[in-house]
Amino acid sequence: MKRHPRPGLALGASALGAGFLLLMAPATEAAKTPVYAITKARVLTATGAVIENATVVLSDGLVMDVGPNAAIPRDARVFDGSGLTITPGLIDAFSGAGMPAPRSSGGGPGAGGPAASPAPDPIAPTSNIYELLKASEALKARDSGVTTIVPIPREGLVHGAAAVMNLAGDQPESMVVKANIALAASMATLRQRYPGSLMGVVAFFRQALIDGSFHHAEVAAYEKAPSGRKRPAFDPGLDVWAQVASGTLPLMLQTPRIGDLRRAFALADEFKIKLVLAGNTQAFEEIALLKERKPALLVSVNYDPPRVGGFFGGSDDDKTRAEIEKAEKNPAALEEEGVRFALVSGFATDFLAGIRKAIEKGLPREAALRAVTLTPAEILGVADRMGSLEKGKIANVVVWSGEPFAKESKVKMVFVDGELYEPEEKPAGPPGGGGATPPGEERGDSARRTGEVK
């Protein structure tokens, strides 16, 4: 199967109507992503800069130029960006978009559930998570201005290799921007098989890291002097753990409980692992610790995740409500204390609503923008190619009808790898809203032809 280097292209070209092709000044060859220029817009670069009345030029999937004096290429499709705001595409560094639905919907052992397909192995260090992605489902995240995701399975203990993926294209492989950025895992328990308890989970990780290191040393010793030695068994799973144990492959670990932060740090100290901590809706409780350790922190806006049921004692509604309220204030509290973090959807169905809630509870808007663009790019090791609106970076760009994340503000256009996508207008919008001009008057089928000014 042929893998196109610029995946979205085939789809884009075919979906674009003939009328559009006619409008393009010189006949570009089919293999090239169109050149776009958005003029007179307000640009938030996510590096802190706000550029008024600026032009953004996207060409061949890259940001060609940004600024008030950016030259507009002759072959560009030009959009009037008056009244619009442009930001880098949102990066959701911990997303359920396009991932399989959870099998166990909270039912008891063996009880209920239509699940007929065999259960995926909950401990799968050698799996590539991107292979599980259903592209058409994942692409829906663009409606929220998300251009890049790190998809994570909703269930299991050790998910496999995490990848940074751009939301353009129809094949998971071609969407991958950077593969194998971390081994994704969770501190959730498995209940029906080992480890079925939190203490079992910690014991599991500890032994896996010991085994990985041991295997690594065995193989190294053998490679040094194979003659006269029994060859160690090939074990790709242990190879993965060896990379984690030596710190060459980060462990992206879901830490759902407050105490999990300390548990994760204890493992990191014991084995020198590099951590990316995900979840942490109550992280503010450990501010001092976070300031001291400065971890790579992914903070979920899924303020009301499913609760972990304990053996003793049931749920306490008042406590739960209080926890949700605290979780909503969590990003603001972290920001105020200068803790660096990225906001992630953490399987929440509405990422934008979560970000908006954090802002409502005191997270400054600029901080929110950085927390879903440049900071996750830095944490994921891709800030050299995305995360801010700068010349040379991948053309992952969002055009908003107004202030990003504001309730009345709409995602007008999304560029991923330079490919234009225009979300459909939701009919529920308040009448007379918007104010800003052209794009997306139509709704219904492909809105790609709308919004053209020139």
Partner 1 sequence: MEVLNLKHASFAFAALALLAAPRDAAAQDTVTAITNAKIMTVGPAGNIENGTILIQDGKITAVGAEVAAPAGATVIDASGRVVTPGLIDAHSHTAVEDGVNECTHIVTAEVRVTDALDPRDISIYRQLAGGVTAANVLHGSCNSIGGQNATIKMRWGAPSGDTLLFQGAPPGIKFALGENPKRSSFRGTTPRYPATRMGVEVSIRNAFLEAKAYKKEWDDYEAAAKAASMVKKGVRSATPPTLPRAPRKNLQMEALKEILEGKRLVHAHSYRADEILMLINVADEMGFKIATFQHVLEGYKVATEIAKHGAGASTFSDWWAYKMEAYDAIPYNAAIMAGHGVVVSVNSDSDELARRLYWEAAKTVRYGGVSEDEAFKMVTINPARQLRIDKWVGSIEVGKDADLAIFKSHPFAPDTRVEMTLVDGKVMFDRSKDVAARTGVAATLGGGQ
Binding footprint of partner 1 on the chain (CB under 8 A): 109, 189-190, 192-200, 202-203, 206-207, 210-211, 214, 217-218, 221, 257-259, 262-263, 266, 269-270, 289, 308, 310-312
Distance of alpha carbon 400 from alpha carbon 411, whole angstroms: 5
Quote the least distance from Cβ 194 to partner 1, whole Å: 4
Output the CA torsion 190→195→196→199 (10° steps).
-130
Distance of alpha carbon 184 from alpha carbon 334, whole angstroms: 24
Quote the least distance from Cβ 203 to partner 1, whole Å: 4
Quote the least distance from Cβ 233 to partner 1, whole Å: 12
Quote the least distance from Cβ 195 to partner 1, whole Å: 6
**Is 21 or 220 the residue whose CB approaches partner 1 more closely?**
220
Quote the least distance from Cβ 127 to partner 1, whole Å: 22
Task: Note whether 411 and 103 are within 8 A (CB).
Answer: no
**Is 150 or 268 the residue whose CB approaches partner 1 more closely?**
268
Give 285-314 as a DSSP string: GGHHHHHHH--EEEEE---SPPPPPPSS--
**Is 25 or 221 the residue whose CB approaches partner 1 more closely?**
221
**Is 200 or 381 the residue whose CB approaches partner 1 more closely?**
200
Quote the least distance from Cβ 339 to partner 1, whole Å: 17
Distance of alpha carbon 205 from alpha carbon 194, whole angstroms: 12
**Is 107 or 196 the residue whose CB approaches partner 1 more closely?**
196
Distance of alpha carbon 25 from alpha carbon 173, whole angstroms: 33
Task: Note whether 145 and 398 are within 8 A (CB).
Answer: yes
Quote the least distance from Cβ 109 to partner 1, whole Å: 6
Which residues, 6 or more positions from 368, have their beta carbon under 8 angstroms from its beta carbon? 331, 343, 355, 358, 359, 405
**Is 200 or 247 the residue whose CB approaches partner 1 more closely?**
200
Task: Note whether 167 and 416 are within 8 A (CB).
Answer: yes
**Is 232 or 362 the residue whose CB approaches partner 1 more closely?**
232
* Token couple for 286: 């450990």
CA 86 to each of CA 81, 108, 170, 216: distance values in angstroms, whole numbers, following the listed order:
9, 48, 26, 48
Quote the least distance from Cβ 356 to partner 1, whole Å: 30
Distance of alpha carbon 373 from alpha carbon 377, whole angstroms: 6
Report residue 172: phi and psi, to 5°: -50, -45
Quote the least distance from Cβ 185 to partner 1, whole Å: 16
* 286: nearest Cα among 343, 362, 339, 355: 339
**Is 20 or 214 the residue whose CB approaches partner 1 more closely?**
214
User: Rounded to 5 degrees, what angle do the CA atoms 224, 229, 230 make?
Assistant: 120
* 38: nearest Cα among 370, 352, 446, 401: 401
**Is 156 or 439 the residue whose CB approaches partner 1 more closely?**
156
